[in-house]
Protein backbone atom coordinates (compact mmCIF):
# COMPACT_ATOMS: atom_id res chain seq x y z
CA UNK A 1 0.00 0.00 0.00
CA UNK A 2 1.23 3.50 -0.83
CA UNK A 3 -0.08 6.72 0.67
CA UNK A 4 0.67 10.23 -0.57
CA UNK A 5 -0.49 13.47 0.92
CA UNK A 6 -1.68 16.19 -1.49
CA UNK A 7 -2.78 19.74 -0.94
CA UNK A 8 -5.98 20.34 -2.89
CA UNK A 9 -7.60 23.56 -3.94
CA UNK A 10 -11.33 23.70 -3.52
CA UNK A 11 -14.42 25.86 -3.73
CA UNK A 12 -16.84 26.03 -0.83
CA UNK A 13 -20.35 26.53 -2.22
CA UNK A 14 -23.34 27.32 -0.03
CA UNK A 15 -26.42 26.40 -2.03
CA UNK A 16 -29.65 28.31 -1.40
CA UNK A 17 -31.30 27.78 -4.79
CA UNK A 18 -30.68 24.76 -7.05
CA UNK A 19 -31.16 26.59 -10.37
CA UNK A 20 -28.90 29.47 -9.30
CA UNK A 21 -26.17 26.99 -8.40
CA UNK A 22 -26.51 25.14 -11.72
CA UNK A 23 -26.30 28.43 -13.65
CA UNK A 24 -23.28 29.57 -11.61
CA UNK A 25 -21.46 26.24 -12.01
CA UNK A 26 -22.14 26.07 -15.76
CA UNK A 27 -20.86 29.62 -16.26
CA UNK A 28 -17.74 29.04 -14.14
CA UNK A 29 -17.02 25.41 -15.11
CA UNK A 30 -13.59 26.20 -16.68
CA UNK A 31 -12.47 27.71 -13.38
CA UNK A 32 -14.01 25.08 -11.11
CA UNK A 33 -13.23 21.87 -13.02
CA UNK A 34 -10.48 19.82 -11.47
CA UNK A 35 -10.99 21.38 -8.04
CA UNK A 36 -12.81 19.93 -5.05
CA UNK A 37 -16.28 21.36 -4.42
CA UNK A 38 -17.31 21.50 -0.78
CA UNK A 39 -21.09 21.78 -0.78
CA UNK A 40 -23.13 23.28 2.05
CA UNK A 41 -26.80 24.15 2.40
CA UNK A 42 -29.47 22.60 0.17
CA UNK A 43 -27.59 19.63 -1.29
CA UNK A 44 -30.02 17.08 -2.74
CA UNK A 45 -30.04 14.25 -5.27
CA UNK A 46 -30.67 16.70 -8.15
CA UNK A 47 -27.48 18.67 -7.34
CA UNK A 48 -25.46 15.46 -6.99
CA UNK A 49 -26.78 14.08 -10.30
CA UNK A 50 -25.96 17.40 -12.02
CA UNK A 51 -22.38 17.37 -10.68
CA UNK A 52 -21.93 13.68 -11.52
CA UNK A 53 -23.00 14.45 -15.10
CA UNK A 54 -20.34 17.21 -15.22
CA UNK A 55 -17.67 14.84 -13.76
CA UNK A 56 -17.18 17.22 -10.82
CA UNK A 57 -15.41 16.14 -7.65
CA UNK A 58 -17.45 17.13 -4.61
CA UNK A 59 -18.08 16.47 -0.94
CA UNK A 60 -21.36 17.11 0.83
CA UNK A 61 -20.20 19.25 3.74
CA UNK A 62 -23.52 18.65 5.49
CA UNK A 63 -22.64 14.95 5.84
CA UNK A 64 -18.86 15.07 6.30
CA UNK A 65 -16.47 17.40 8.07
CA UNK A 66 -13.23 18.41 6.37
CA UNK A 67 -10.18 19.71 8.14
CA UNK A 68 -9.44 23.03 6.45
CA UNK A 69 -7.02 25.84 7.14
CA UNK A 70 -8.82 28.95 8.17
CA UNK A 71 -7.30 32.29 7.29
CA UNK A 72 -5.97 34.02 10.38
CA UNK A 73 -6.71 37.51 9.16
CA UNK A 74 -10.13 38.84 8.33
CA UNK A 75 -8.80 42.21 7.21
CA UNK A 76 -10.20 43.57 3.98
CA UNK A 77 -7.52 44.69 1.57
CA UNK A 78 -8.25 47.61 -0.69
CA UNK A 79 -7.52 47.10 -4.36
CA UNK A 80 -4.94 49.59 -5.61
CA UNK A 81 -6.55 50.68 -8.85
CA UNK A 82 -6.18 53.68 -11.04
CA UNK A 83 -9.36 54.78 -12.73
CA UNK A 84 -9.05 56.74 -15.94
CA UNK A 85 -11.76 58.07 -18.20
CA UNK A 86 -11.33 58.41 -21.93
CA UNK A 87 -13.55 59.34 -24.85
CA UNK A 88 -13.77 57.09 -27.89
CA UNK A 89 -13.49 58.98 -31.18
CA UNK A 90 -16.84 57.69 -32.44
CA UNK A 91 -18.69 57.85 -29.12
CA UNK A 92 -19.85 60.88 -27.21
CA UNK A 93 -20.21 59.20 -23.82
CA UNK A 94 -17.14 58.40 -21.75
CA UNK A 95 -16.20 54.88 -20.69
CA UNK A 96 -14.23 53.94 -17.56
CA UNK A 97 -11.04 51.91 -17.60
CA UNK A 98 -9.41 50.22 -14.60
CA UNK A 99 -5.69 49.49 -14.39
CA UNK A 100 -4.23 46.89 -12.00
CA UNK A 101 -0.47 47.22 -11.34
CA UNK A 102 -0.26 44.05 -9.24
CA UNK A 103 -0.75 40.30 -9.61
CA UNK A 104 -4.32 39.08 -9.12
CA UNK A 105 -4.37 36.55 -6.30
CA UNK A 106 -5.84 33.06 -6.28
CA UNK A 107 -9.47 33.21 -5.16
CA UNK A 108 -9.81 36.88 -6.11
CA UNK A 109 -12.70 37.79 -8.37
CA UNK A 110 -12.95 40.99 -10.42
CA UNK A 111 -16.28 41.47 -12.21
CA UNK A 112 -16.73 44.76 -14.07
CA UNK A 113 -18.40 46.51 -16.98
CA UNK A 114 -15.27 48.61 -17.50
CA UNK A 115 -12.29 48.02 -19.78
CA UNK A 116 -9.62 46.30 -17.66
CA UNK A 117 -5.81 46.44 -17.90
CA UNK A 118 -3.62 44.03 -15.91
CA UNK A 119 0.12 44.64 -15.78
CA UNK A 120 0.88 41.50 -13.74
CA UNK A 121 0.03 37.82 -13.55
CA UNK A 122 -3.50 36.39 -13.16
CA UNK A 123 -2.91 33.58 -10.67
CA UNK A 124 -4.60 30.17 -10.66
CA UNK A 125 -8.04 30.36 -9.06
CA UNK A 126 -8.52 34.06 -9.93
CA UNK A 127 -11.53 35.16 -11.99
CA UNK A 128 -11.59 38.20 -14.26
CA UNK A 129 -14.90 38.97 -15.96
CA UNK A 130 -15.73 42.08 -17.98
CA UNK A 131 -18.29 43.15 -20.53
CA UNK A 132 -15.59 45.55 -21.75
CA UNK A 133 -12.23 44.88 -23.37
CA UNK A 134 -9.42 43.25 -21.37
CA UNK A 135 -5.63 43.59 -21.66
CA UNK A 136 -3.30 41.24 -19.75
CA UNK A 137 0.48 41.71 -19.96
CA UNK A 138 1.32 38.93 -17.47
CA UNK A 139 0.83 35.16 -17.60
CA UNK A 140 -2.77 33.95 -17.25
CA UNK A 141 -3.16 30.99 -14.88
CA UNK A 142 -6.74 31.86 -13.81
CA UNK A 143 -9.93 32.42 -15.79
CA UNK A 144 -10.45 35.55 -17.91
CA UNK A 145 -13.84 36.14 -19.51
CA UNK A 146 -14.56 39.12 -21.79
CA UNK A 147 -17.41 40.21 -24.03
CA UNK A 148 -15.69 43.42 -25.18
CA UNK A 149 -14.60 44.34 -28.69
CA UNK A 150 -11.05 43.05 -28.13
CA UNK A 151 -8.57 41.41 -25.74
CA UNK A 152 -4.80 41.83 -25.76
CA UNK A 153 -2.81 38.91 -24.34
CA UNK A 154 0.77 37.66 -24.13
CA UNK A 155 0.71 34.19 -22.58
CA UNK A 156 -1.98 31.79 -21.38
CA UNK A 157 -0.39 29.44 -18.86
CA UNK A 158 -2.54 27.00 -16.89
CA UNK A 159 -5.59 29.25 -17.18
CA UNK A 160 -8.30 29.90 -19.73
CA UNK A 161 -9.54 32.89 -21.69
CA UNK A 162 -13.17 32.88 -22.81
CA UNK A 163 -13.89 35.61 -25.38
CA UNK A 164 -17.55 36.04 -26.42
CA UNK A 165 -18.33 32.54 -25.11
CA UNK A 166 -15.49 30.83 -27.00
CA UNK A 167 -12.37 29.52 -25.24
CA UNK A 168 -9.17 30.72 -26.94
CA UNK A 169 -6.48 28.22 -27.99
CA UNK A 170 -3.56 28.48 -25.53
CA UNK A 171 -1.00 27.49 -28.14
CA UNK A 172 -1.52 30.79 -29.98
CA UNK A 173 -0.30 32.81 -26.98
CA UNK A 174 3.36 32.03 -26.37
CA UNK A 175 4.65 35.33 -24.97
CA UNK A 176 4.29 37.58 -28.01
CA UNK A 177 1.69 40.32 -27.73
CA UNK A 178 -1.52 39.26 -29.57
CA UNK A 179 -4.67 41.23 -30.37
CA UNK A 180 -7.91 39.24 -30.43
CA UNK A 181 -10.84 41.05 -32.00
CA UNK A 182 -14.52 40.25 -32.31
CA UNK A 183 -16.09 41.46 -35.56
CA UNK A 184 -19.35 40.31 -37.16
CA UNK A 185 -19.53 37.17 -35.02
CA UNK A 186 -15.97 36.07 -35.87
CA UNK A 187 -12.89 36.01 -33.64
CA UNK A 188 -9.59 37.07 -35.24
CA UNK A 189 -6.11 36.82 -33.68
CA UNK A 190 -3.19 38.88 -34.91
CA UNK A 191 0.26 39.66 -33.54
CA UNK A 192 0.99 43.20 -32.39
CA UNK A 193 4.34 44.41 -33.67
Distance of alpha carbon 120 from alpha carbon 136, whole angstroms: 7
- Please determine, for residue 144, whether its predicted confidence score (pLDDT) is greater than 90: yes
Mean pLDDT of all residues in 132-142: 93
pLDDT, residue 67, reads 54
Q: How confident is the model at residue 55 (pLDDT cuts 50, 70, 90)?
A: confident
pLDDT, residue 34, reads 76
pLDDT, residue 80, reads 45
Backbone φ, ψ for residue 28 (5° rounding): -105, 15
Q: What is the mean pLDDT of the chain?
A: 81
pTM of the complete model: 0.53
Residues in the chain, total: 193
Mean pLDDT of all residues in 136-159: 93
- Please determine, for residue 63, whether its predicted confidence score (pLDDT) is greater than 60: yes
pLDDT, residue 76, reads 46
- Please determine, for residue 116, whether its predicted confidence score (pLDDT) is greater than 60: yes
41 conformational bin, left if phi > 0, alpha if psi -120 to 50, beta if neither: left
Amino acid sequence: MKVKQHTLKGFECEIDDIESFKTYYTKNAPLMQGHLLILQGKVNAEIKAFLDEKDAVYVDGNEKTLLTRKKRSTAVLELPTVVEEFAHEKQVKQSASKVFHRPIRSGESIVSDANLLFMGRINSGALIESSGSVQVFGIIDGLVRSDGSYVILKKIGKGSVVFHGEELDKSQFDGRLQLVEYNNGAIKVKEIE
